[in-house]
Amino acid sequence: MATSAAKLLPKEEYILPGTRSCAACGLMLTYRHALKALNPGKTIVAVPASCMTVLHGVYPVTPVKTICINNPFGATGAAASGIAAGLKALGHDDYTVLAFAGDGGTYDIGIQALSGALERGTNFLYICYDNEGYMNTGTQRSSASPAGAITSTTPVLSKLQHKKNMIGIIEAHRIPYIATASPSFPLDLFDKVKTARDTLGSRYMEIHAPCPPGWGFPNKDLIKMGKLAVDSGIHVLFEIKEGFFQLTSRSLNLAEKGKRKPVADYVKGQTRFKKINQQQVEALQDFVDKRWNEFLERHQKNS
Amino acid sequence: MSDVRIITANTAAALAAKLCRVQVISAYPITPQTPVTEELAELVETKQLNAEYLTVESEHSAMASVIAASQVGARVFTASSANGLLYMHEMLHWAAGSRTPVVMACVNRGVGAPWTILNDQQDSISQRDTGWIQLYCGNSQEVIDSIIQAYRIAEQLNIPVMVCYDGFILSHTTTPVDIPPQELVDQYLPPRPPVFGIAEYSAMNVNPLILSDPRPDPDGNMAPGYMDIRYRLQQDLIAGLDIIEKADKEFSKLFGRTCGGLVWNYKMKDATHAMVSFGSLASECTLAADLLRQKGLKVGVIGVRSYRPFPKAGLLNELKRVETVTVLEKDVSYGYEGALAMDLKSALYDSGHHPKFSSYVVGLGGRDVLPKTLADETYKAITGEISHAWIDIKSQ
């Protein structure tokens, strides 16, 4: 049963006030709702060098009520595999092994270890929080950055390539559960993490995490920007259970009766797109349309 | 009753891991380490060894996964060689920094480029400064015995241990090895003590971001800064000198044989000339020393078993009466000399005893080293000019 109202979410907070994350951090909100869906007392989370490291606090204090094992940037999939193997060998079968990495740690440097972990059928949940660049090191380009975005390593021309199709790569591993989510749709996010928690085998989630300082929009627009991303089809909400594709939440509504907003509406509120020209907007729209149609076709085939 | 089998050092390493009842193995194949991983896989698949076996997609992941498994409390094992070991480099630092008692067999092989699959010790020597304990084995018996000792040392200090042995020369050569009985190994090596708090509800942030200076914890107690934590690693490695020696002594009480502790010696009692080396090359030096003794020179051999921590006191004690020192090693710090030669010279400088000191780089990439060659070069070092050279260069 889908969670129907925010008041039905667990009341307990696992991230205490006073984290070192930026104000209006999309990752913070993502992690907050994800932890509510897990059992943080019986969860061990593997974290690479990232904004998550900062969020988890500077020694000897941590604002997060769970067990976090930090690991080097490219090692998350392998570290999670080791945690899972160690727990299994010691007979601690009641833990959820969670890997929580950014897009750089997933799409780029961590892809090999992640692919290995998925191929081995490691019993764990991997959540990629996608803030579309190396935000912790100062907004450098990643292969998840959208075309047309100015980053600190695409400072003049903007990024020339579209976002990598990571979901396609993950799906090629034929794992039992894949889902996307957004902290702007917390009930959908919560339900999916719960489903992922209760699924056996390798599970992968990709959560779009808007980043006010990295993308250049006011803090107050965090939720709005996440919603605009979904409303425009820049980010699409779905789950793939054993290969069975279904749109969910707002993306499902858009498929059934709504009308997607143009990507122009999405890009205009962010300074990272300040140099985007008409041609690039059209190219981005075309990229989004094609992907949306592919998703829609898969969804309709299954409904 | 002893159980002597004719086996390779690789089989000895796999059997040692089994005898130590390792719980998680993770490895990636590389020549000449491969038989270790294959034999362990078979032991796990046939349920002769109750362990999780991760067939990872790289050495970086092999080390990352054994570190993580060790952090949740498992006894872990891996093995590698050459470029595989180098691919682990970041994780080797992480293993020591995170104070995980990982034990690894390093089957020494030359490093590319150009490719060689044959033996030298450039691979492990180039990982010298990662904070690991490095033990070098002179024969296959020492391989099985040292891996068993390594777990005791690692779990006592919470410092990872690399047990190094020469590719092909030992790894693929069968010799008689006395297999320690399981009951005695169990007596020597109890199960790993449970790891702090992992199995109970608590907030924990393992290996987090840390600042340079101490900071208070929520109770107001000061917690160390980065440099303080690193200083503890250094202090514990130095304290490891005693632990390594004791581990070998305790071992010899139960099993009736020793690996030599920190340094072993051969005919050093009356020696005025010392050959110093490690690994199987040190074993070979004993044959060269015998050849030199036939010429009337009082030559002995010192085998460095523990390269890190560096057994400075033990070495100086062995060398205090010698007139010449000749170091022979299968590694080099490019642009200068062999690593052991440099370390030993610095130790002698501090002691004030300055024997005539020569050093040679030999046998890189599997170039054959004959005892006679070692004897001839050492003879020149004893009777002639001080020399720091590469032996047996055939094409210039």
Q: How far apart are CA A164 and CA A179, in angstroms?
A: 16
Give the pLDDT of residue B200: 60
* Partner residue opposite A115 with nearest CB, options B57, B208, B218: B57
Please, are residues A20 and A43 in contact by the beta-carbon 8 Å criterion? no
Q: How far apart are CA A65 and CA A13, in angstroms?
A: 9
CA closest to A110 among chain B residues: B61
Give the pLDDT of residue B198: 65
A115 with B205: Cβ contact below 8 A? no
| Ranges of chain A with pLDDT below 50 | none
Q: A166-202 as b/e, with b when 16 or more CB fall inside 10 Å?
A: bbeebeebebbbbbbbbbbbbbbbbbbbebbbebeeb
A22 part of contact set with chain B, CB < 8 Å? no
CA closest to A68 among chain B residues: B205
Give the pLDDT of residue A41: 85
* Partner residue opposite A78 with nearest CB, options B65, B201, B216: B65
Give the confidence band of B361 by pLDDT, cuts at 50, 70, 90: very high
Could you read off the pLDDT of A180-209 as tens digits, one per residue? 999 999 999 999 999 999 999 999 999 999
CA closest to B88 among chain A residues: A75
User: Is residue B201 pLDDT above 60, yes or no?
Assistant: no
A90 neighbourhood in chain B, CB within 8 Å: 23, 72-74, 199
Using only C-alpha atoms, what is the Rg of chain A? 18
Could you read off the pLDDT of B215-225 as tens digits, one per residue? 999 899 999 99
User: Is residue B196 pLDDT above 90, yes or no?
Assistant: no
Question: In A, residues 60-89, which contact B (CB 8 Å cutoff)?
Answer: 60-62, 64-72, 74-75, 77-83, 85-89
CA closest to B74 among chain A residues: A86
Strand partners, B273: B299, B324
Give the pLDDT of residue A93: 85
* Partner residue opposite B223 with nearest CB, options A59, A86, A116: A59
B65 with A81: Cβ contact below 8 A? yes
User: Is residue B97 pLDDT above 80, yes or no?
Assistant: yes
pTM summary value: 0.97
Domain A11-302: assigned CATH number: 3.40.50.970
Q: How large is the angle between the packed helices B59-71 and A111-119, nearest 10 degrees?
A: 70
User: Is residue B67 pLDDT above 90, yes or no?
Assistant: yes
Domain B3-188: assigned CATH number: 3.40.50.970
What mean pLDDT comes out for the span B185-199?
Answer: 85
Q: What is the mean pLDDT of chain B?
A: 96
Please, are residues A267 and A150 in contact by the beta-carbon 8 Å criterion? no
Give the pLDDT of residue A100: 98
* Partner residue opposite B58 with nearest CB, options A41, A60, A112: A112
ipTM: 0.97
Give the pLDDT of residue B199: 58
Percent of chain B predicted with pLDDT > 90? 95
The DSSP code sequence of A14-56 is SB-S--SSPTT-HHHHHHHHHHHHS-GGGEEEEEESSHHHHHT
Could you read off the pLDDT of B228-278 as tens digits, one per residue? 999 999 999 999 999 999 999 999 999 999 999 999 999 999 999 999 999
Q: How close is the nearest chain A Cα to the Cα of B98, in Å? A: 10
What mean pLDDT comes out for the span B191-212?
Answer: 81
A78 with B56: Cβ contact below 8 A? yes
User: Is residue B319 pLDDT above 60, yes or no?
Assistant: yes
Where do the H-state alpha helices sit in A90-247? 103, 111-119, 166-171, 186-197, 222-231
Size of interface A-B (CB pairs under 8 A): 164
B3-188 and B263-390 in the same fold:
yes
Domain B263-390: assigned CATH number: 3.40.50.920
Domain boundaries, chain A: 11-302
A75 with B64: Cβ contact below 8 A? yes
Please, are residues B102 and B154 in contact by the beta-carbon 8 Å criterion? yes
* Partner residue opposite B23 with nearest CB, options A46, A60, A90: A90
Cα dihedral sign for A61, A65, A70, A74? negative
Give the pLDDT of residue B197: 59
